Each structure stands twice: as C-alpha cells, then as structure tokens.
A = this chain, B = another copy of it.
Amino acid sequence: MEVDLKNINHKFVELFRQTFAFTEEEFALFLSYFTVKTVTKKDYYLRAGECCHAKAYLNKGCARNFVLDEQGHERILFFAFEDWWLGDFDSYYSGKPGTNYIQLLEDSELLVISKENFQKAEKEISKLTQWYSFKMLRSASASRNRIEEMKTLSAEERYLKLIEKQPHIFQRIPLQHIASYLNIEPQSLSRMRNRLTNKH
C-alpha cells in the first residue's frame, strides 16, 4: 500500500524536512519508495533465521526485539515505539540470516523501505547518507551506554531507572516483558516490586 502523507508521524516529517533539509521534491521522492504495512498484535515482523532486507519505520504501535538464549528463553534486547526504526541491522548490512525476533505488541503500522529502494534513494538524495551516518553514530553510542548500564547497575537499579526515565513503558508493555528486558524472571520482578513497596 502506498504511503499517505497525512497519516505519517510528524517526527518523521520533521526529521527529513527540517533536520536534514530535504526539499519538498526530495521528500516526496523518498516517500514514494516506502510502502505501508499493517501488522496485528502478536504477529512477527521478523524472526531469527530470516534475512532483513528492509528498514521499517514504526509509525504507530510498539514492538519487542528479542533473541533466544541456549535454553530457548526469550531475552528482550529493547522495546520499540513510535518513531523507531525496526530491523536486524547486522543481517541488513551483512546480507546473512539474523538472530533477532521482532514481535509487535499492539496493532501497528510500519513504513517499509526495501534495501534496493533505499540504495536508489541514496543515489538520488545525497543527504540520505548523512542521515545514515548520523543514525549509525547514535546507535553505536546508545549500545555502548546500554553495555555500561548493564555492567554498572543491579536489576533493582535498572528497574528504578526505567521507571524514572521511561515511565510510559509501564503503560503499554506487560510486566513479564519488562522483566525479560531487565534480565530477570517475571516472578523475581514481582518479588522485587513487593519488596520495594513494603520498604515503607
């Protein structure tokens, strides 16, 4: 399905029209390379073993990105909300099958651009490469911070930080998934929440 401009998240428009100064023509051209994809709650956008050959802008909805450990447990790496880009970037750039699962947790709408279309667009709109560099820098930085956080904070500290920094997550994501994100079992999160409320 073609993308209808009036349904696009304003952040998407702002990013390319203002931050990266796309002209109206460039923006229209860029948009023409996208298709809209709706995915219903609990369905997967990507599974381990599949090759990721597109970038997908999460226009509406939310998702969890997870991998399986050796015992087959799901381990959530991060949640995605409106204005995030979905995909397995290692797979996208290497062309090899990925290890990530991406499951939508609400009925969602994605704006999808295939690898080929993106490469075409990159040739026609040189600013796109700047965006890509910018995003890569941010992504690398976010990952490093995440490692630092995992190394220096306990499960309880990570939980409290999550409440402080991203309280909206608790409005939309079931506790069992938040537990997985914090790297503990749902029972342990429950016990921890109990311990924290009974502290006074």
Contacts and interface: CB of A to CB of B under 8 A. Distances in A.
Contact of A67 (B90, B151, B183): B151
Interface in A20-50: none
Contacts of A148: 67, 75, 77, 99
Number of copies: 2
Contacts of A152: 67-70, 75
Q: Which size class do A's interface residues fall under?
A: 20 to 34
Contacts of A70: 152-153, 157
A141 interface: yes
Interface in A57-91: 67-70, 75, 77, 89-90
Given A151-B77, A152-B67, A140 B146 contact: no
Contacts of A140: 89, 136, 139-140, 143
Interface of A: 67-70, 75, 77, 89-90, 93, 99, 132-133, 136-137, 139-141, 143-148, 150-153, 157, 183
